């Protein structure tokens, strides 16, 4: 576990992250470990990525999984989103092949330990990304997805809570069925 009492430079963080077994976020000098996921979390994130990868093949859009770090310059943050979609080639930060700058869609699968951060703190910093247009927050313990879409007047929230519904991802012009998001997931 990395101590948060010491401040780290961005270069120090990158060296630590390159050798680390788990993932850590960089938060303006602090290094914060990201908790491991659950089977449901992995299954949902994998379902979303696989469906998007298939649907967006042969288009100008590309989904990327959670292995790639998103750098947010305004907040000096390096974070890992569960799924991101890019229009055209992802813009690399300082020609690094492990940090990108310009997703248009970001998907976070919520877990009890990160749900509040994903809804509030992360969403606030994500909104500083000029290219960012849609945000999906996906519950793992029930079929429920919140979609925020950027409009001229601000961010519009839409809720989806039925496996029969589909989520319109306007920025990439596709429908994401709730049944595909939750394929193979058993709810208690």
CATH number where 93 lies: 3.90.1570.10
In a domain, 188, yes or no: no
- Asked if 70 and 17 sit in the same domain, the reply is no
Rounded CA separation 77/85 (Å): 19
- In this structure, are residues 23 and 80 in contact, taking their beta carbons and an 8 Å threshold? yes
In a domain, 107, yes or no: yes
Confidence of residue 30 (pLDDT cuts 50, 70, 90): confident
Number of domains in the chain: 2
- In this structure, are residues 96 and 144 in contact, taking their beta carbons and an 8 Å threshold? no
In a domain, 148, yes or no: yes
In a domain, 43, yes or no: yes
What torsion do the CA atoms of 56, 62, 66, 70 make, to the nearest 10 degrees? -150
In a domain, 166, yes or no: yes
- 42's tokens: 């992995």
For residue 36, pLDDT over 80 is answered with no
For residue 61, pLDDT over 70 is answered with yes
Rounded CA separation 35/75 (Å): 22
User: Of the given ranges (4-8, 49-53, 60-64, 103-107), which has the lowest mean pLDDT?
Assistant: 4-8
- 122's tokens: 């992360």
- Asked if 130 and 90 sit in the same domain, the reply is yes
Q: What is the extent of the structural domain holding 25?
A: 1-34
- Asked if 77 and 10 sit in the same domain, the reply is no
- Asked if 115 and 157 sit in the same domain, the reply is yes
- Asked if 47 and 127 sit in the same domain, the reply is yes
The angle formed by the CA atoms of residues 127, 131 and 136, to the nearest 5 degrees, is 60
- Asked if 132 and 98 sit in the same domain, the reply is yes
Rounded CA separation 98/70 (Å): 8
Confidence of residue 13 (pLDDT cuts 50, 70, 90): confident
- Asked if 6 and 69 sit in the same domain, the reply is no
In a domain, 186, yes or no: no
Nearby residues of 70 by Cβ (< 8 Å), 6 or more positions away: 78, 79, 80, 81, 84, 99, 100, 101, 103, 106
- Asked if 117 and 69 sit in the same domain, the reply is yes
- Please name the residue ranges forming H helices in 56-163: 115-117, 123-126
């Amino acid at each position: 576990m990395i101590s948060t009492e010491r401040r780290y430079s961005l270069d120090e963080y990158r060296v630590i992250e390159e050798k680390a077994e788990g993932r850590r976020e960089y938060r303006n000098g602090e290094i914060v470990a990201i908790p491991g996921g659950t089977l449901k979390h992995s299954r949902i994130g994998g379902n979303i990525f696989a469906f998007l990868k298939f649907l967006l093949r042969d288009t100008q859009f590309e989904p990327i999984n959670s292995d790639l770090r998103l750098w947010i310059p305004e907040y000096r943050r390096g974070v890992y989103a569960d799924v991101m979609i890019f229009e055209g080639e992802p813009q690399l930060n300082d020609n690094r092949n492990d940090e990108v700058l310009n997703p248009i869609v970001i998907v976070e699968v919520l877990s009890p330990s990160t749900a509040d951060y994903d809804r509030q703190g992360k969403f606030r910093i994500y909104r500083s990304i000029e290219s960012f247009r849609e945000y999906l927050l996906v519950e793992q313990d029930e079929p429920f997805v919140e979609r925020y879409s950027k409009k001229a007047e601000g961010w519009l929230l839409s809720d989806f809570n039925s496996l029969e519904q589909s989520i319109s991802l306007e920025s990439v012009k596709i429908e994401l069925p709730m049944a595909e998001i939750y394929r193979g997931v058993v709810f208690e």
